[in-house]
Amino acid sequence: MDKFLIKRPRSEESSSSPKAPLPSKSSKKNTNVNFNSNDIISDPGLRKSIEDFEVGVRDQVRRGYLTRGPCQLIGHNFPQKDVTKDAAFCFWCYLFTQSRGNRIREDAFTKTGVQNDARVQFQSFQNQRQSVSHQLATHSDEMEVEYHTHLTAVLDVTRFLLKQGLAFRGHDESSSSLNKGNFLELLKWYSLRNDKVFKTVNQNAHGNNQMTSPKVQKELANACASEITCAIIDDIGDNYFSLTIDEAQDVLVKEQMGVVLRYVNKNGYVIERFLDMVHVSYTSSISLKNAIDCLFAKHGLSLSRLRRQGYDGASNMRDEFNGLKALILRENPYARYIHCFAHQLQLVIVVVAKDNRIRKKNQESSLARPGDTHWGSHYTTILRLMSMWTLVLEVLQNVHDDGVSNDNRDQNIVQAICLIEVVKTRLQDFRETGWETFLEEVRYFCEGNSIPVPIMEDNMQIRGRSRRKGQVITHFHHYRVEIFCEVIDLIAQEMQNRFQEASIELLLVMPCLDPRDLFSKFSIHKLLRLAELYPEDFTITERMILEDQLTTFIYEERNDDDFIDIGDLGGFARKMVETGQHAIFPLIYCLIKLALVLLVATATVERVLSAMNVVKTDLRNKMGDEWMNDSLVVYIEWEVFATIDNEVILQRFQKMQTRLMQLPPLNRIPRISGDDVGVGSSSSVHR
């Protein structure tokens, strides 16, 4: 076998790696070398390689490096003059890892020194205009101005479509299509009527920077919605607010939860704003509570500032033990819950209609509800609608008139309690003295529709009794006692049962703030009790000061001509801000704000759910949750949207990610007239 072996030359043998020698006494001694972890240099760029240490201490070195981390100069208060450039590099790394997306306060560092230089360099790194890619692109000033004109035109189209709740995309957006959808067609129409826009969009745009992709559309919509939400959050500030939510299914049968906040702004106006539409997988109380916690954390809202919660009365909301109301009260006992007054009134009508047997027998028809799969039900619904068309128009006209009237809007808790008491009083008065007037109206109606009117003094058989017994009553007794009085008593009893919350101490105190009739219901004792119900907002010392303020307050307001014609609590709060009384009596103004944030109806959140059906239709049923929420925020809060300038939205859009082009500095943006692109920029008022 030796003849088959190939012997290497002696030179190759000497150049090959020798075998590791057996450890000697000296090498064993090196394994016990003591290692001091303080000798490790903090700067990773200056650290000694692990292989350069003795074999016996490499494990200790490796453990020391891992324990010390990437850079240990961070967090030490070292003097500016002693900081080396290597430490500045570490500090720059710290800024990059710890402050991504956040602004670095300039006053946190001295104006000179290595740390300040690192801060300046880091801010320059965050600035897209100073990035390497931007410097290599070397776009001219003219190209940047054209990009600004192009992007502003795209934003104007986006603003219009969002405000109207219209769809963006078309079924066929190819170059040969005759109808490319609302967005592209409106942008084309815009460019044909403006030369500056025509030179920058579509085929005249630079390269592939068309800015018409669905991603750009959604980012612009998100920028618009984010600015609206920021404006709302800034307007709330640290004021108290109330929470109203309701859930419903969209056209894709996904559970959506609408969130509305109510607060008093700095001018004394009661404001209700739509905050967000949140998709919830389950409608259990715990799931809704988790969604609210995430939403509050997202927008920086504190649950401790919540002073009211209101829902429509569903079991998962108002359950005394495991409902959403109970879960919030465990964290904030001052978030009072009041059942929606409008829903309680509706339940009163429903119960009375079900219990009234006469109405059931005399009802000719009702609108049949169509089924999802039973197509014959749709035909029945149409027939019923046609037969009742005149009455339907009359009801819709009444709804329209009630919605237009400003008197029915913005009801506060004081007005609601007073109205409930007025309704109870009027019902009792109508029962006692309203029979004759009501009978005359019925006779006039019967004569106009050829309906015979019985003589009230004649006898009639008792309904449900055998005729052989011969028991009779008069028509007067039947209609007056068994129908008229019975229905009124049933309504009064149901109202008493449904509005048991009116006996709650909190609601009994609220009418003391009613400014009508020169504060005729004003009571210092009750208002002090109201302050005691909110110990988080009124300390013991402040409650003592409040008593003195109330005494002075009632004397001044009853003798002030500016407050004579005030008819509601909301108007009184606005007048206090106008005259500066809110600064003179801050504790009383705090009581008024607590009363104003107590909601009495959930109409606003109901309108939000109706708007959801306008934005997310059957043809747009695949809208994502974020896209739908952004569209709803702009569509609903268009008043806030009108106050936001285009430049603010463009800056937010530009910072979402690195763009091919950069917006020009403000001093290079040409002033645009109303006939040119960017009308929103010149006509809007920055928030």
Count of CA atoms in the C-beta half-sphere (13 A) of 598: 23
Cα angle, residue 511 at apex, residues 552 and 573 outer, rounded to 5° = 60
Cα Rg of the chain (Å, integer): 37
Percent helix, strand, coil in the chain (nearest 5)?
60, 5, 35
**Residues 214, 299: one domain?**
no
272: β partners: 262
- Decide if 472 is inside a domain: yes
Q: How far apart are CA 588 and CA 546, in angstroms?
A: 7
Is 70 exceeded by the pLDDT of residue 138?
no
As beta bridge partners, residue 472 has 461
* 248 DSSP β-pair partners: 256
Kindly give, in sequence order, each residue whose CB lies less than 8 Å from that of residue 522, ignoring residues fewer than 6 positions away. 512, 513, 554
Beta strand residue intervals within 172-254, DSSP E: 241-249
Please give the Cα distance from 315 to 322 (Å, whole number).
9
* Strand 459-461, strand 336-337: pairing: unpaired
> So what's the pLDDT on residue 674?
43
Percent of the chain scored above 90 by pLDDT?
33
Using CA atoms, how far residue 184 sits from 161, 190, 337, in Å, is 11, 10, 48
- Report if residue 81 sits inside a domain: no
For residue 262, the surrounding DSSP H or E stretch is strand 255-264
pLDDT at 210 over 70: yes
Tell which of 502, 536, 565 closes a domain: 502
Structure tokens at 196: 């500056």
Least confident among 75-89, 190-204, 358-372, 425-439: 75-89
Do 422 and 453 reside in the same domain of the chain? yes
With beta carbons less than 8 A apart as the criterion, state whether 146 and 199 touch: yes
- Residues in the chain, total: 687
User: d(Cα 514, Cα 256) in Å, to the nearest integer?
Assistant: 38
Q: Each residue of 532-561: pLDDT tens digit?
A: 989 989 999 999 999 999 999 888 888 888
CB atoms near residue 30 (< 10 Å): 12
- How many structural domains is the chain composed of? 4
540 and 613: one domain? no
Task: Kindly state whether residue 255 falls inside one of the protein's structural domains.
Answer: yes
State the residue range of the domain holding 567: 509-596
Residue 641's identity, in one-letter code, is F
Whether residues 255 and 361 share a domain: the answer is no
CA-CA distance, 66 to 60, in Å (whole number)?
Answer: 10
Nearest to 566 by CA among 517, 609, 625: 517
520 and 569 share a domain? yes
Sheet bearing 241-249, strands edge to edge = 270-279, 255-264, 241-249, 306-310, 336-337
Question: Is residue 517 assigned to a domain?
Answer: yes
Between CA 539 and CA 546 the distance in angstroms is: 10
Is residue 55 within 8 Å of 31, Cβ to Cβ? Answer: yes
The answer to whether the Cα torsion of 592, 593, 598, 602 is positive or negative is positive
Q: Residues 194, 195, 199, CA angle at the centre, nearest 5°?
A: 120
Tell me, yes or no, whether 631 and 495 share the same domain.
no
| DSSP symbol at 320 | T
In this predicted model, what pLDDT tens digit does every residue of 21-51 receive, in sequence order? Answer: 444 444 444 444 567 777 777 666 677 777 7
pLDDT of residue 494 exceeding 80: yes
| Structure tokens that stand for 71 in this block | 């850079």
Q: How much is the pLDDT for 127?
A: 65
Which one has a higher pLDDT value, 272 or 41? 272
pLDDT of the residue at 15: 40
Q: Match 């082009």 to its residue by tokens.
A: 661
H-run or E-run covering 190: helix 182-192
Q: Residues 6 or more apart from 97 whose CB is under 8 A from it? A: none
* Average pLDDT score over residue span 629-657: 94
23 inside domain:
no
Per residue in 378-436, pLDDT tens?
A: 788 888 888 888 888 988 888 778 766 555 555 677 777 778 888 889 999 999 999 99
Q: Is residue 76 part of a domain?
A: no
Pairing of strands 336-337, 306-310: parallel
What token pair was written down for 310? 């209101």
Judgement on whether residues 284 and 298 belong to the same structural domain of the protein: yes
Q: Between the ranges 130-139, 206-215, 386-395, where is the mean pLDDT highest?
A: 386-395
In whole angstroms, give the CA distance from residue 166 to residue 182: 8
- Asked if residue 474 and residue 382 are part of one domain, the reply reads yes
Q: Is residue 552 part of a domain?
A: yes
* Consecutive H or E run containing 336: strand 336-337
Please tell me the least confidently modeled range out of 166-175, 483-492, 549-558, 658-667: 658-667
If you ran DSSP here, which 8-state letter would residue 590 be given?
H
Determine the Cα angle at 91 with ends 105 and 40, to 5°.
Answer: 150
What is the tens place of the pLDDT at every residue in 441-481?
Answer: 999 989 888 889 888 888 887 765 555 556 788 889 889 98
- Span 636-641, mean pLDDT? 95
3-state secondary structure of 505: helix
The CB density around residue 497, as the number of other CB atoms within 10 Å, is: 12
Tokens of 223: 């920028």
Q: What residues have CB less than 8 Å from 190, skipping those under 6 apart?
A: 153, 156, 157, 197, 677
SS3 state at 373: coil
Q: What is the distance, to the nearest Å, from the Cα of residue 27 to the centroid of all Cα atoms in its chain?
A: 71
The pTM of this model reads: 0.71
Q: Does residue 30 form part of some domain?
A: no
Residues 572 and 451 in one domain: no
What DSSP line would sit under 629-673, residue for residue?
Answer: HHHHHHHH-HHHHTTS-HHHHHHHHHTTS--SS-PPPGGGSPP--
Whether residues 337 and 348 share a domain: the answer is no
pLDDT higher for 215 or 138?
215
Residue 503, CA atoms < 13 Å, CB-side half-sphere: 6
- How many whole angstroms separate alpha carbon 45 and alpha carbon 285? 54
Instruction: Give the integer Cα–Cα distance in Å for 25 and 682.
Output: 87
DSSP-derived letter for residue 241 is E
On whether both 420 and 533 belong to a single domain, the answer is: no
Q: Which residues pair with 247 in a beta bridge?
A: 257
Residues 423 and 486 in one domain: yes
Q: Which residues pair with 255 in a beta bridge?
A: 249
Quote the tokens at residue 260: 């509305």
CATH number at residue 239: 3.30.420.40
Mean pLDDT over each residue of the chain, to the nearest integer: 79
420 vs 341: CA distance, rounded Å:
9
- CB contact set of 16 (below 8 Å; sequence gap of 6+): none
Lowest mean pLDDT among 89-98, 209-218, 592-601: 89-98
Under 8 Å between Cβ of 609 and 616:
no
Residues 6+ apart with CB under 8 A from 656: 219, 222, 223
Are 162 and 224 in contact by the 8 Å Cβ rule? The answer is yes
